Amino acid sequence: MKELIRKFTQTAGPSGYESAVRNVIREELKSYASNIQVDTLGNLIVRVGEKNRNGLSILVAAHMDEIGVIVSHVEKNGLVRFSNIGTVFPRFLPGSRVVFLNGTRGVVNNEKPEDITKIPKFEKFFIDVGAASDKDCPVKIGDLAVFEGEFADYGLNIVSKALDNRAACALLIETIKQIKTTPHELIFVFSTQEEVGSRGALTAAFGIEADLGFALDVTPASHILGTKMQCDLGKGPAIKVRDVNFISDPGVVNWMIDGAKKIRVPYQLEILDVGSTDARSIQMTRSGIASGALSIPCRYVHSPSEMINMNDYQNMIALMVRLLTNPVSLG
């Protein structure tokens, strides 16, 4: 499973440009699913099983895209100015490296700050691609790049860029591989453009019109940072109760808690005060869908060195298989 995560995280796929990631996922799934489609927004949709009288149509989404940057201007001296694709934190930028979709690499830095004790504003940063002038610069306005962050194996923990959300994509694939029978029609959506507003999940959910839906994503493991959010690495998958733009259906929360208890895997309850997931788009589709979310605790989210725990990962797969292969009760 680590090798699958490594393969996914090291494939570039910023929001709106997920095709390379989608191709890797499709190749991985071809021996396990025959009903695979790609819709207009680039979502990869995989259908498994048929709904019987005890079953539901269940949509599970994990987004393929990662944060990145886009060239907005090239200075006459060859330095590249850029804007963000998704939420890019300025505190992670100085000294970080990027790779453009055309293969060009660059290092990020900033103009000399007036106060070295403060983080510069976003517009003070630039990318140095080694160009001497705008005439020989290998990138142009509109070119996209992602951050470089090699995969590292720390034993129980792994580190890489784009674990948000390639870890959940890999987890979804492992779940599909382990499901042998189910009373449900399962629709797995590897969605696009989550980092810029959960656009892919919105259109996919509209077309699918499921009975029940939930998203898989990462969530900040912030216990080491002194924040009020209580979500720890290594203490099990997080069952979302609320985030900035989403309140989980109480029945879905209880269904997930009951599933974790039935197979005796640890779990945490997630209250997130920053950000949201595809669950919001699923919930608000058409006349509304009962929705929730499961999250992988992750340190240093939206940095080039995100970290997750493999015990959390394994326990979340076990919980997913339990939830999707047994009758659902949201009472």
**27-34 CB contacts, 8 Å cutoff, 24+ apart:** 28/4, 28/173, 29/173, 29/176, 32/173, 32/176, 32/177, 33/176
CA 108, CA 129: separation in Å to the nearest integer?
Answer: 9
Catalytic residue among 18, 28, 185, 194: 194
Indicate if 123 belongs to the active site: no
Peptide bond into 165 cis (omega under 30): yes
Taking residue 3's Cβ as centre, other Cβ atoms within 10 Å add up to: 10
CA 81, CA 280: separation in Å to the nearest integer?
Answer: 33
Taking residue 91's Cβ as centre, other Cβ atoms within 10 Å add up to: 8
Are 82 and 235 contacting, i.e. CB atoms less than 8 angstroms apart?
A: no
Residues across the chain? 331
Read off the DSSP letter of residue 200: H
**Is residue 114 left, alpha or beta, with left meaning phi > 0 and alpha meaning psi from -120 to 50?**
alpha
Chain mean position to CA 223:
21
Separation in Å, CA 55 to CA 49, 52, 61, 192, 211: 10, 5, 19, 28, 10
Instruction: Single out the residue of 273, 275, 281, 272 nearest to residue 239, CA to CA.
Output: 272
Are 13 and 23 contacting, i.e. CB atoms less than 8 angstroms apart?
A: no
The DSSP element (H or E) to which 73 belongs, if any, is strand 68-74
Active-site amino acid positions: 194
